[in-house]
């Protein structure tokens, strides 16, 4: 099979916030999840794609047809095309919206007897990037409420991907059997997992995930699935690959996509929509090894897997904080003293809220004071400064000192403050409703 060295002409792929949100839903993201709005709400201050979203533009190029038509003597038969391995490496954080240009090259074809394994490398370059908030939401949100939009057309690589595909019936052509080009798989440490998490897939998981671009009828049409040897349509491998990546992002990266650098895995067994998945994880240094098992059958569906992460949270510079004297100098300090008393008087409040809130108080757009309202568990506490012990806040609220006073006294409506840009909220915006008991009754969040 003389395919090695074949290059596909650069392809472009454009995505918007709708594609980002659809993918997140397709890999099981729920509004009930921690930090859900970061991945499901385009107007969230820190809205961003899940790191594994980069398989979507990569898939679009792979399924375009140009690659297959370039291979002499072979035409694509989706019922005989199996995804073997997948590797992604993020070179920069994924923007919420972009037009990408992708170069792809076949780097290796292995002869496995019963079939051939084709490995293709691709590099994905940002040609038209929109950060933070997309112009397309202006039809439903007044443009005056949106942060400034910045673009980057420098053509810098955003990520690269490597696909290994098994082509059934295309073997016995006398080619090499061992790979020298594929990013290697890794065995997990020989000990009990450091962490495990169970995820229940939905019966309609494949029907939803296919809307992100993989329209192979193997995942929706029972008769087509039967042609491939399956009793019923199966879940996309990249779907449970994305589910696993989402679990690890939450567990070891605090849902911070900038700390998620690369992911590799082999697709070992099929998954039926509705089955339960068990993700086992082992952490060593900046690498998280993992397996994904179909709990209903005990069969491992992802093997040799690992995610490379940035191990530590970004450090805060010595000059980045504010002193306790600064907190006492702002006009809203009395509001937080009142919050402290209310938390002490309501020891069961934390058990109802179960979240950490960071308030950034500005003066003339510069940070002047910070308070943490820690309501993870009873009795709860309020203190000056950012969260202690490296705890990540579930919600960060930022506003001017005078606006905080107006908010706390009921003179400023929180919804209007948010829509006008006076109040900026990042993280799980819905949790702010649980702050109501700590504020004046007329200042409902």
Q: Does 380 lie in the same domain as 283? A: no
Q: Does 297 lie in the same domain as 365? A: no
- Which of 309, 324, 355 is the C-terminal boundary of a domain? 309
Q: Does 31 lie in the same domain as 162? A: yes
User: Does a structural domain hold residue 399?
Assistant: yes
Choosing from 83, 124, 219, 236, the catalytic residue is 219
Q: Does 430 lie in the same domain as 353? A: yes
Determine the pLDDT at residue 193: 97
User: Does a structural domain hold residue 119?
Assistant: yes
- What is the domain range of residue 337? 332-437
Q: Does 289 lie in the same domain as 363? A: no
Determine the pLDDT at residue 80: 73
Question: How is residue 184 written in tokens?
Answer: 């290697």
Query: Distance between CA atoms of 368 and 112, rounded to whole angstroms?
Result: 65
Whether residue 111 lies in the annotated active site: no
Q: What is the pLDDT of residues 394-429, one digit of tens each?
A: 888 999 999 999 888 888 888 788 767 788 888 777
The enclosing domain of 267 has a CATH number of 3.10.129.10
- What is the three-class DSSP state of 113? coil
Question: Residues 6 or more apart from 128 whose CB is under 8 A from it?
Answer: 14, 98, 99, 151, 153
Q: Does 196 lie in the same domain as 63? A: yes
Q: What is the pLDDT of residues 196-230, one digit of tens each?
A: 999 999 999 999 999 999 998 999 999 999 988 89
Q: Does 210 lie in the same domain as 64? A: yes
Whether residue 403 lies in the annotated active site: no
User: Does a structural domain hold residue 305?
Assistant: yes
Question: Strand order of the sheet with strand 381-384?
Answer: 381-384, 366-375, 355-363, 395-400, 424-427
The enclosing domain of 350 has a CATH number of 3.30.1050.10
Choosing from 214, 280, 374, 403, the catalytic residue is 214
The total number of residues shown for the chain amounts to: 445
- Chain centroid to Cα 370, Å, comes to 28
Task: Write the DSSP assignment of 220-234 as a string of letters.
Answer: T-HHHHHHTT-SS--
Q: Of all helices (H) and strands (E), which one includes residue 25? A: helix 17-26
User: Does a structural domain hold residue 73?
Assistant: yes
Tell me what percent of the residues of the chain surpass a pLDDT of 70: 84
User: Which class for 284: exposed (0-12), middle (13-18), buried (19 or more C-beta within 10 A)?
Assistant: exposed
User: Does a structural domain hold residue 183?
Assistant: yes
- What is the three-class DSSP state of 241? helix
pLDDT band, very low/low/confident/very high, at 130 (cuts 50, 70, 90): low
Determine the pLDDT at residue 195: 97
pLDDT > 70? residue 309: yes
Q: Does 269 lie in the same domain as 210? A: yes
Q: Does 77 lie in the same domain as 165? A: yes
User: Does a structural domain hold residue 206?
Assistant: yes
Whether residue 234 lies in the annotated active site: yes
pLDDT band, very low/low/confident/very high, at 83 (cuts 50, 70, 90): confident
Q: Does 363 lie in the same domain as 257? A: no
Choosing from 6, 123, 234, 243, the catalytic residue is 234
How large is the average pLDDT for residues 229-253?
A: 96
pLDDT > 60? residue 317: no
Query: Distance between CA atoms of 79 and 84, rounded to whole angstroms?
Result: 14
User: Does a structural domain hold residue 376?
Assistant: yes
Q: Does 352 lie in the same domain as 232? A: no
Question: How is residue 177 written in tokens?
Answer: 């059997």
Query: Distance between CA atoms of 19 and 28, rounded to whole angstroms?
Result: 14
Question: Which of 7-11, 183-187, 238-242 has the largest mean confidence?
Answer: 238-242
User: Does a structural domain hold residue 140?
Assistant: no
Determine the pLDDT at residue 314: 40
Question: DSSP label at 53?
Answer: G
Number of domains into which the chain is organized: 2
pLDDT band, very low/low/confident/very high, at 128 (cuts 50, 70, 90): low
- What is the three-class DSSP state of 156? coil
Choosing from 237, 245, 380, 427, the catalytic residue is 237
Q: Does 213 lie in the same domain as 126? A: yes
Whether residue 214 lies in the annotated active site: yes
**C-alpha dihedral (243, 244, 250, 254), degrees to nearest 10:** -120
The per-residue pLDDT of the chain, averaged, comes to 83
């Amino acid at each position: 099979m003389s395919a090695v060295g074949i290059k596909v002409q650069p392809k472009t792929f454009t995505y918007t916030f709708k594609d980002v949100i659809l993918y997140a839903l397709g890999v099981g993201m729920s509004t009930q999840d921690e930090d859900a709005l970061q991945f499901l709400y385009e107007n969230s201050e820190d809205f961003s794609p899940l790191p594994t979203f980069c398989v979507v533009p990569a898939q679009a190029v792979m399924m375009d047809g140009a690659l297959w038509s370039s291979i002499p003597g072979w035409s694509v038969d989706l019922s005989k095309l199996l995804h073997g391995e997948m590797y992604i490496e993020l070179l920069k954080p994924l923007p919420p919206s972009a037009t990408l240009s992708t170069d792809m090259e076949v780097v290796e074809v292995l002869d496995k007897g019963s079939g051939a394994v084709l490995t293709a490398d691709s590099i994905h370059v940002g040609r038209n990037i929109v950060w933070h908030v997309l112009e397309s939401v202006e039809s439903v949100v007044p443009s005056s409420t949106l942060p400034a939009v910045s673009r980057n057309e420098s053509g810098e690589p955003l990520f690269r991907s490597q696909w290994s595909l098994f082509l059934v019936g295309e073997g016995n052509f006398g080619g090499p059997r061992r790979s020298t080009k594929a990013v290697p798989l890794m065995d997990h440490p020989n000990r009990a997992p450091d962490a495990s998490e169970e995820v229940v897939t939905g019966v309609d998981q494949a029907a939803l995930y296919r809307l992100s671009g993989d329209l192979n009828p193997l995942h929706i049409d029972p008769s087509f699935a039967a042609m491939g040897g399956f009793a019923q349509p199966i879940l996309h491998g990249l779907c449970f690959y994305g589910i696993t990546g989402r679990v690890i992002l939450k567990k070891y990266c605090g849902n911070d996509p900038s700390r998620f650098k690369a992911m590799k895995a082999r697709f070992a067994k099929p998954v039926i929509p509705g089955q339960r998945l068990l993700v086992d994880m082992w952490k060593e240094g900046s690498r998280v090894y993992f397996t994904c098992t179909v709990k209903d059958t005990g069969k491992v569906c992802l093997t040799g897997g690992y995610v490379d992460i940035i191990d530590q949270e970004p450090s805060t510079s010595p000059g980045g904080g504010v002193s306790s004297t600064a907190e006492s100098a702002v006009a809203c300090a009395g509001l937080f003293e009142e919050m402290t008393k209310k938390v002490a008087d309501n020891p069961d409040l934390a058990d109802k809220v179960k979240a950490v809130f960071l308030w950034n108080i500005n003066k003339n757009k510069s940070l002047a004071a910070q308070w943490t309202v820690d309501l993870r568990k009873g009795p709860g506490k309020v203190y000056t400064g950012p969260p202690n012990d490296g705890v990540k806040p579930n919600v960060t609220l930022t506003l001017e000192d005078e606006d905080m006073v107006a908010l706390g006294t009921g003179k400023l409506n929180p919804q209007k403050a948010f829509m006008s840009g006076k109040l900026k909220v990042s993280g799980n915006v819905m949790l702010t409703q649980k702050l109501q008991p700590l504020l004046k009754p007329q200042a409902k969040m």
